[in-house]
Structure 1
C-alpha cells in the first residue's frame, strides 16, 4: 500500500508539474501578442492628438497676433489721417481769417476816409455860414477821432450774424456789438442793454448826434440798443433773421439815447 501510494503520488506530482508548465507556456504568447501592441497603439494615438492640439494652438496664436498687428496698424493710420485733416482745417481757417481781417481793414480804411470827408464838409459849411451844401446833420468830430473810429468799426461788422450772447468777432448780439465798438476808443461800457441805457448822459431822441447810443424800452430796463450813425439811421445787431444791419430810425423809433463821447 505504501508503495502504491508513493507511485501514485509521484505520478500526480509529475502531472501537476507538467500541467503547470503547459499553463505557463500557454499564457506566455497571450502576453506577447495582445497586451504590448495595444499599449503601443494607445501611446501613438495620444502623441498624435497632442501634436495636433499643439499645432492648432500655435496657429490660433499666430492668427490672433496677425489680427492685433493689423488692428494696431489701422489705428495708427487713422490717427495720422486725423492729424492731417486737422492741420488742413486749421490752415484753411487761418487763411480765411487772414483774408477776412484784410478785407475788414480795407473797408474800415475806406469808411474812415468817407467819414472824414463828411466831417470836413460840415465844418466848412459851418464856417462859411452856408447851409445849402451842409449835410442833413452835423457829424461831431472830436479831436481824438473817437466817433469816427466807433462808426467805422460798426460799419465793418454789417452782414455779421446775430447770436444771443455773441461778442464777436463774427457774430454779435445788440449790446455785445455796442460794447465792442466803444471799446475801440477806450470806453468800457456795461455788457447788457439795461446797463448801457443808463451809461453816459441822457439825451433826447430829437437832439441826436452821430455816436449816440440808442435804446428801446425804459431807462435801466431797455431790451435793445444800437448806435446812431446820422441821416436818421442807426446800426445794430437786430435779430437772427437780419443780423448786423443799418436801419431807418423812423421805422423803429428809439425810446431814449445816451451820449458817452
Structure 2
C-alpha cells in the first residue's frame, strides 16, 4: 500500500455532466432576458419623460374648496339675517296692529262720550225752554201784541246787514258748540251776525243777555237781541227781525229758522245797535 493512501486528495470533485448542463441553461436564460430588456428599453422609456404637475393641481383644488366653504358660510349668514329681518317685521306689524286697534277703541269711546254729552245738554236745554214757556204763558198774549206793534219798518244800516247775514244761514244745522260756517249754536250765530257790522259780542248766551242796553219786549226794534231766561243766566238767544218774528239757531231738530214770538215769547231783550 502506498504511503499516501490515507491522505485525502486535494482535487476538486468532478462535476457531473447533468449539473453543468443545468447551469449552462440558467445562465443562458438570464442572458436572454437581459438582452430582451435591453432591446425593449428605449421604446418604453419615452413616455416617462412627461410628468404631471401634481402640486399645481393640489393648490387649485385647495383654493376651490376654500372658496366653496366661504360661499357656504356667506349663504348661511344671509339666511340668518333674512330670518331676523322677517321676525322683526312681523313683530313690528303686530305692534302696529295692536296700537291701531287701541286707537280705534279710544276714538269710539270718545265719540260715544261726546254724543252722550251733547244729548244731555240738548235735553237740558229743551227742559229749560219748556219750563220758561210755561212760566211765561200767563202774559204771552200781551207780549205778542207788543211785539206785533213794534217797529215793522224795513231795517236799514247795521240792523239790515245783521238780518241779511242771519237769513243767509237759514237751513244750517244746529250743533252745540259749533261756530259755523255751516253749523251753529244759538249764541255763536248771534255773535257772528253782529261781527259783520263791527260789534264784538260775548260768546255765550248768559253774557250776551247783559250786552248793550236792556229793553222791554214791548218796544222791540229790528236787530235787538232776544234772550230766554234771566238776564245774566239766559240759556238761549236770537235776533228780532220785525213783524213779530225772530231768527235763531233753534235746536238739532229745526236748525237755523225764523219763528214767531207768539209761539215762544222771549224773557227780555238788549239793544247794541
TM-score by length of 1: 0.49
Q: For the pair shown, which has the larger CA radius of gyration, 1 or 2? A: 2
